Amino acid sequence: MEAADYEVLSVREQLFHERVRECIISTLLFATLYILCHIALTHFKKPAEFTTVDDEDATVNKIALELCTFTLAVALGAVLLLPFSIISNEVLLSLPRNYYIQWLNGSLIHGLWNFVFLFSNLSLIFLMPFAYFFTESEGFTGSRKGVLGRVYETVVMLMLLTLLVLGMVWVASAIVDNKASRESLYDFWEYYLPYLYSCISFLGVLLLLVCTPLGLARMFSVTGKLLVKPRLLEDLEEQLHCSAFEEAALTRRICNPTSCWLHLDMELLHRQVLALQTQRVLLEKRQKASAWQRNLGYPLAMLCLLVLTGLSVLIVAIHILELLIDEAAMPRGMQDASLGQVSFSKLGSFGAVIQVVLIFYLMVSSVVGFYSSPFFRSLRPRWHDTAMTQIIGNCVCLLVLSSALPVFSRTLGLTRFDLLGDFGRFNWLGNFYIVFLYNAAFAGLTTLCLVKTFTAAVRAELIRAFGLDRLPLPVSGFPRASRKTQHQ
């Protein structure tokens, strides 16, 4: 063989080894996420659904739980996708020729984005509908009972649902662009799936627009419940005494068989007693907190939340001004996988760290706002008491939120990192009016929620300070006397 042949062979070997290395790294990362998600779902699932007398139902629930674990792992990967890419870019800038980070390159990052895009489509369109229909199926009438019969019914239902969804998406694309709809019939993989995922991502971005401002306002109250407040803002002894008195009163109602409360629901009374006992134990733990935790932890946490929230609103306001001045600030997709050439923050590595922190903070806020909204409050998972269908619904909602996070962050201008792969092919990202109105709506809703939350807290403190909360309420059974009667 000649020298040129050896060079070609060595290049092919190098490409082959790089591809194998990327597959191994991606598999290890996904396996780690899968294990973490499996542990989390195990603590939330209802044990009675997996230890039933009917082995068929238990098997179906186990299969559905594995599909939910896969979907939740994809959702967690979508959350980590943009922060991991930003940090990798800064590492490549700081250590461009380090031997130990040669595995970290643009090809790996681009491959991770493609894998998340593929698995998100697979989970939303096929796996989660299959898991739901599988748990609700009973097999066709007249067919042999068993898991296989349920599989047949689930596959038929899934095929019908897929045809319905794809037909609706094709009609929508035909209304928007007739030529594009004809192309989608001939090119299913390159056009149809990205367009379908673009619609789902757009719904996710709209959901983030509603949930994130609500979550930013709720983060203060949630953090206040988790941390121990200073004695100036919270009287734990009074709360303990009230909880003990209520628990003693309910216990007397349950234990006294000749009481006049026998018509009450005894099961409800038992649940109330258990809730009060749990509350009392938590209050006792908080009372034992140290002075440092009480007087320093809570103010620092509130200060961090205030800084992060204000910084998020400020960045969005600056991005709105940039959109008005220069349309080059519009989000766009990166066509190549070149990383490590330029920093995506004007502050360098410090700015990249701030971007990552803000992305995680907004994602946590969106989840808090999602479960705090009245529409999705019933989906909130409970410890060892979450039904299988409820787990499926939670996984679908979390995947929709997390898969829209990269688009959400780039649209708001939280980062300059351009979207990779098919994430950058969304048509509505290039519409100036959509992006501008979205930023303005986010800034307005966030400001409105924060102002309403803080003013409500100030009103409550003022009412408590002046003692207006202890005023007697008017009795509804006795009408007010008229002015004529009062005069007499």
* Percent of the chain surpassing pLDDT 70: 70
Structural domain of 190:
3-228+295-453
Task: List, in sequence order, every residue forming a beta bridge with 45; answer none if it has no partner.
Answer: 386
Q: In terms of domains, do 165 and 252 share one?
A: no
Residue 316 main-chain phi, psi, to 5 deg: -65, -40
Query: In terms of domains, do 308 and 406 share one?
Result: yes
272 and 306 together in one domain: no
Residue 486 belongs to some domain of the structure: no
pLDDT at 331 over 90: no
Report the mean per-residue pLDDT for the chain.
76
385 in a structural domain: yes
**Cα dist. 394→2, 134, 291, 353, 401 in Å?**
60, 17, 39, 30, 11
- What is the tens place of the pLDDT at every residue in 452-478? 877 776 666 666 656 565 555 444 444
In a domain, 458, yes or no: no
Q: Are residues 187 and 254 in the same domain?
A: no
Continuous segment of H or E residues that includes residue 207: helix 193-226
| Any domain includes 54 | yes
Backbone angles phi, psi at 380, to 5 degrees: -60, 125
Region 1-18: mean pLDDT is 67
- The pLDDT assigned to 457 comes to 61
Between CA 162 and CA 26 the distance in angstroms is: 29
The closest of 159, 84, 72, 80 to 119, measured between CA atoms, is 72
Q: For CA atoms 83, 89, 92, 93, give the dihedral sign.
A: negative
Token pair in block for residue 79: 């959350």
Query: What does each C-alpha distance from 190 to 104, 186, 332, 353, 393 come to in angstroms?
Result: 27, 10, 18, 35, 29
Q: How far, in Å, CA of 105 to CA of 109, rounded?
A: 7
Both 446 and 384 in one domain: the answer is: yes
289: left (phi over 0), alpha (psi -120 to 50) or beta: beta
Residues 181, 208 share a domain: yes
In a domain, residue 57? The reply is yes
Is 248 in the same domain as 318?
no
In a domain, 471, yes or no: no
CA dihedral 54, 56, 62, 63 (to 10 degrees): -170
Q: 358-368 pLDDT, tens per residue?
A: 999 999 999 99
Whether residues 154 and 141 share a domain: the answer is yes
Phi, psi angle pair for 227, to nearest 5°: -100, 165
Task: Quote the number of domains for the chain.
Answer: 2
Would you say residue 426 has pLDDT above 80? no
Is the residue at 469 inside a domain?
Answer: no
E strand or H helix that includes residue 210? helix 193-226
In a domain? residue 93 = yes
Clarify whether residues 218 and 239 are in a common domain.
no
The amino acid present at 475, given as its one-letter code, is: V
Give yes or no: residues 234 and 216 share one domain.
no
Spatial separation of the C-alpha atoms in residues 142 and 135, rounded to whole Å: 19
Amino acid identity, position 81:
L
21/108 same-domain check:
yes
Query: Do residue 105 and residue 198 come from a single domain?
Result: yes
> Which SS3 state, helix, strand or coil, does residue 333 take?
strand
Q: What pLDDT is stored for residue 32 in this prediction?
A: 93
Provide the pLDDT for residue 7.
Answer: 62
Which tens digits make up the pLDDT trace of 259-294? 554 555 566 766 777 777 777 776 666 666 666 666
Domain boundary among 266, 288, 310: 288
